[in-house]
Structure 1
Amino acid sequence: MNQDNQNDFFKKSVLGHPAGLFVLFFTEMWERFSYYGMRALLVLFLTTSIADGGWAWNVENAMALYGTYTMVVYFTPIIGGYLADRFLGYRRAVVIGALIMTLGHASMAIETPTFLYIGIVCLMIGNGFFKPNMTSIISNAYAKHPEKKDGAYSLFYMGVNAGAFLGIMLCGYIGEKVSWSLGFGLAGIFMFFGMLQFYFTQNIFGNIGLPPTAETKKAIKDKEAEENDAPHIIRDRIIAVVIFSVFSVFFWASFEQAGGSMTIFAEKFTQRELFGNAAWTFKIVDALLTIMPLLVISYVLVKLFSKTVKEYALGNSILALSFIIIWGIVIWKINRDFSATEAEVPASWFGILNSLFIICFAPFFSKWWESKYNISGPMKFGLGLTLLGLGFGFLAYGSMGISTDSVVRVSMVWLIAAYLFHTLGELCISPVSLSYISKLIPASWIGIMFGVYYLFLGMGNKLAGSMGGLIETISQEYSLSTFFLIFTIIPIGLGVIMLLLTPVMKKLMHGVN
């Protein structure tokens, strides 16, 4: 990619970053809406009784399917990244992936075992084309502005979690309270909107992300030859990426309990039925938690419109329509809740806290990473793992004295505190990982190396499903508190190890900050 393409990309600015970054922001937002909306429902749907519309699977089997699905959706990006690098280009791969995922969500809405598995396979394949190539577009766009990458990825990550917030909130609510099929189907509708918005606005990227030509392939070969002049530096930096990735496995194995054991904890052991003043207080808080982030995202949308609506009217119109529908669903939801005299907090509701906290804290972390108080990548990893472990410490303490057959239900405060610390830890690791990979890896390998990174994330997700499925076994043999204590000790221990490895990691990174 030449300098002119990057200059064109940076011509129109929104909130201090190129307008094109926010096109990616909203595309990723709708993809994450669909992913997390479906994820919020999957285990609950599978384990809910047949009388209540579910399939009455046991927890271990449901978590095994959940773990396999979340593992493979992170394995397929290595293939999608390779195909985009060599043949398709990043933009075409994103559109293909989004279309396949739309079909997957539509299939799951039919609610039969055959279509469930067809849908899951489509989501696995589609994610492989979509996931690594969105981040590759950012990497290429900011190639000449490495100092802004951490901030750009943090803002992009805000879009990721805005989608997760809305997906869990709305798909989870509709799935649990209205219809499982409608919950799954809603996820597919907004995946389709995201694809159309990206397709009709993609020219904003100039030549970034187009299929490689003979000229660009030659440039890649020349670049590879140039990079081979310093193979020891490439080797060391790849080693650093692998070390970061290995630690990420354990981070995600713990963090992804949110979609499994923490959801089960919310459903079975957390006081969710509220009456009187408590019910009204929750309804007001829930309404504010829904409206305020949506107002923030709508503000970003308006800022993007002001820069791009004349040139990309169709793409902007599709994006506007999607937000009109979202606002309509939100108003319907709030009205429905306030019409009831009591309140039962959906078990999936707690999943929105991670996304809410991301939306609140991502701008702060973005500014931190761009300030003179920025800390090194290894220190960010160590801090993130430690914060994650502390979050599980709240659950370990809050669940003391509770067994699997206990009728005791604990305060929601423990889950809220856990999600807060998990989110702070995530902000130190997930968006920063994407930024550091893009800095440490040669440009010609970027797509496939993002795929390799997601391969490690897939291992973490499968491990999350396997470990989460042991919640009943460990709780019966020891205690529920012991189960969460395991997830407290391991991340904190690994966080300390990473902090101790900081000097070695800095040496391997050869000046990348």
Structure 2
Amino acid sequence: MSTDIENLFKDKVLGHPAGLFVLFFTEMWERFSYYGMRALLVLFLITSISEGGFGWEKAEALSLYGTYTMGVYLTPVFGGLIADKLLGYRWAVILGALIMTLGHAAMAVETPLFLYIGLGCLMVGNGLFKPNMTSIISNMYKNHSDKKDGAYSIFYMGVNAGAFLGIMLCGYIGENYSWSLGFGLAGIFMFIGMLQFYFTQNIFGDIGLSPKKIEAIKLEQIGKDGDQDLRLKELSEEKTPKKIIIDRLIAVGVFCVFTVFFWAAFEQAGGSMTIFANEYTQRNLIGGYGTLFKYIDALLTIIPLGIITYVLYMLFKKTFSKYAIGNMILSISFIIIWGIVGWKIYVDFSKESVEVPATWFGILNSLFIITLAPLFSKWWESKYNMSGPMKFGLGLLLLGLGFGFLSMGSQDIVSGQPILKVSMFWLIAAYLFHTMGELCISPVSLSYISKLVPAKWIGFMFGFYYLFIAMGNKLAGTVGSYIEEIEKAYSISGFFLIFAIIPVVAGLIIAGLNPLMRKLMHGVK
């Protein structure tokens, strides 16, 4: 190949190639749009028509939510194949981002027809975007497998930086001012993310080009070097025995199955946990508590945004001279964000009392990831690193404990009686444990797939992995849609207890499979 992948590691930002942080910011704006819209979707659907919503029943809204989130993770199966065989990773990402931009624009119209058109575009666009971002990282680090866990954790920090800002700002504007503005803001930053990636994509050299271009580069190199064996060498790159490949694919399959249990519970965040925040959580703060929350909320916004801006500055130092347009677009996006954040803080401090938006609790997951991801990244690179199955087991256990807090906190809520508002502590504790569980599973899953799967199947296998996440998301919406029935028959505490028990049991099972899984992985750590 004309471009040595090792060249990517010469210009480093925080110990990793500058290209990783181009992906970091592209993914950040895509996640801004996704989570910003997701934070509003269920609340918008169940809000009465007189207040600007659609007035749907909770079961109906949660069922659509589950179908949408399933579609978001189902389409990457096809998106990975299209990129592998036709477009290449880079053009798949660009086209996917454009389609998602159109989807967000459609949702801002706020009619049933455009709602379905918008959700359809978001599913299709995400299918092209999501698996191919991770495929680019996999190719970047194919000779640095020891740094993959850390790289994916940093990338995942970008994911959650976008989620944090999207939920915070789109949720705030949507709940307090206009649903259309909330959905529209998500689309604006999706478009910015696309432009930033487009104008900076050459930083990846030959990685992510279309199959035809890659083949042409190989043939050109053969002509220059006179090395007729080069092409044969590239076609025979994978020399791992067939039995080991099969065993490793079985290990990937096991991880995928347990991923379903994780996401079926974790994705209650956008559904039943949002409803719990909206209806059962004490969100009206007055006096000193209201003032304290204003300062905490301002700091929770400014500090993470400041850290991300510093990362942007570090990237500028390494890449601005070569990729000025992409960096300028990125800088404009941050100027806009800082402006919106400043306006939000000014408005909040001008109010005497505070009603915490129901969507606000969704930022906790992202905030905790931004805070904890560097620590977990260091943990996975240290001598105290755990095996993949043990990480999965720990992640599921922590997830179950988080729901245990919700079940405990809602014990006094009785169906059919005046609604009791419970302390925000229970949701905060739940999100903390859910986040630690997520850090043990989600970025680690991406890393293990990239290490266990042959390079030529990477795009497809990431899509295959997202298929199981799709199952988990649909299951989350389906079970979540029974929240009112389970609450009436038992209690809201019983509803959350289901999500406490099942992940813990699943976690113990996969931890028990650790010896077998390590054999199947044949030395991959």
Q: Same fold, TM exceeding 0.5?
A: yes
Structure 2 residue 364 is matched with structure 1 residue 365: no
Q: 1:21 to 1:226 in 2, by over 3 A?
A: closer
Q: In structure 1, what is the equivalent of residue 477 of structure 2? A: 465
**Partner Cα separation in structure 2 for residue 240 and residue 217 of structure 1:** 33
In the other structure, the counterpart of 2:224 is none
- Give 2:356's aligned residue: 345
Distance across 2 between alignment mates of 1:36 and 1:447 = 24
1:272 aligns with one of 280, 283, 289: 283
Residue 183 of structure 1 corresponds to 182
Deviation at 1:403, TM superposition (A): 2.7
Alignment check: 8 A CA contact 1:438 1:446 kept: yes
1:503 aligns with 2:515: yes
- Alpha-carbon distance in structure 1 between the residues aligned to 2:8 and 2:114: 41
Asked if residue 321 in structure 1 is aligned to residue 321 in structure 2, the reply is no
In structure 1, the residue matched to 2:450 is: 438
The count of residues paired between Structure 1 and Structure 2 equals: 512
Q: Tell me the CA shift for residue 216 of structure 1.
A: 7.6
Q: 1:500 to 1:216 in 2, by over 3 A?
A: farther
Please report how far the alpha carbon of residue 10 of structure 1 lies from its aligned counterpart in structure 2 after TM superposition.
1.0
Q: 1:180 to 1:229 in 2, by over 3 A?
A: closer
Give me the whole-angstrom Cα distance separating, in 2, the residues matched to 1:228 and 1:114.
Answer: 52
Structure 1: 5+ residue runs without aligned partners? Answer: none
Matching residue's letter, 1:381: F
Q: 2:304 aligned with 1:293, yes or no?
A: yes
Letter in 1 for 2:85: R
Partner of 1:307: 318
For the residue of structure 1 that corresponds to 2:282, the secondary structure is coil
The amino acid that maps onto 1:143 is K
- The amino acid across from 1:50 in the alignment is I
Q: What's the counterpart of residue 231 of structure 1? A: 242
- 1:125 maps to 124
User: Which residues of 2 match residues 37-436 of structure 1 at below 5 A?
Assistant: 37-213=36-212, 214=215, 227=238, 230-405=241-416, 406-436=418-448
Cα distance in 2 between the residues matched to 1:316 and 1:225 = 39
Q: Which amino acid aligns with 1:453?
A: Y
Q: Summarize the Cα distance change of 1:217–1:78 in structure 2 as closer, same or farther, 3 Å threshold.
A: farther
SS of 2:211's partner is coil
CA separation in 1, counterparts of 2:126 and 2:415? 36
Q: Give % identity.
A: 70
Deviations 1:113-162 (A, max 9, x none): 11111000000000000000000000000000000000000000000000
Contact 1:273 1:345 in 2 (8 A): yes
**Which residue identity lines up with residue 402 of structure 1 in the other structure?**
I
State the distance in 2 between where 1:261 and 1:101 align: 26
What is the TM-score with the length of structure 2 in the denominator? 0.96
Distance in structure 2 (CA, Å) of the matches to 1:378 and 1:224: 32
CA–CA separation in structure 1 for the residues paired with 2:369 and 2:39: 17
Question: RMSD of the TM alignment (CA)?
Answer: 1.4
The change in CA–CA distance for 1:271 and 1:212 in structure 2 (over 3 A counts) is: same
Whether contact under 8 Å (1:220, 1:444) holds in the other structure is no
Distance in 2, matches of 1:509 and 1:222, equals 25
Deviation digits for residues 253-290 of structure 1 (CA, Å, limit 9, x no counterpart): 00000000000000000000111111111111101101
Contact 1:5 1:208 in 2 (8 A): no
The TM-score with structure 1 as length reference comes to: 0.98
Inter-partner Cα distance in structure 2 for 1:260 and 1:78: 25
Offset of 1:312 from its aligned partner? Answer: 0.6
Which amino acid is 2:256 matched to? S
Deviations 1:177-228 (A, max 9, x none): 0100000000000000000000000111111111113368998996676647
Partners of 1:350 and 1:36 lie apart in 2 by 12
Q: Is it true that 1:479 corresponds to 2:491 in the alignment?
A: yes
> Which secondary structure state, in structure 2, belongs to the residue aligned with residue 200 of structure 1?
helix
Corresponding letter in the other structure for 2:336: I
Q: Label 1:112 to 1:142 Cα distance change in 2 as closer, same or farther (>3 A).
A: same
* Deviating more after overlay: 271-280 vs 224-233: 224-233
The letter for the 1-side match of 2:497 is L
Distance in 1 between residues matched to 2:234 and 2:468, nearest whole Å: 27
The answer for the alignment partner of 1:34 in structure 2 is: 33
State the shift of 1:402 in Å: 0.7
Cα offsets for 1:344-395 (capped at 9, x unmatched): 0000000000000000000001111111111111110000000000000000
Supply the distance in 2 between the matched residues of 1:448 and 1:50 (Cα, whole angstroms): 43
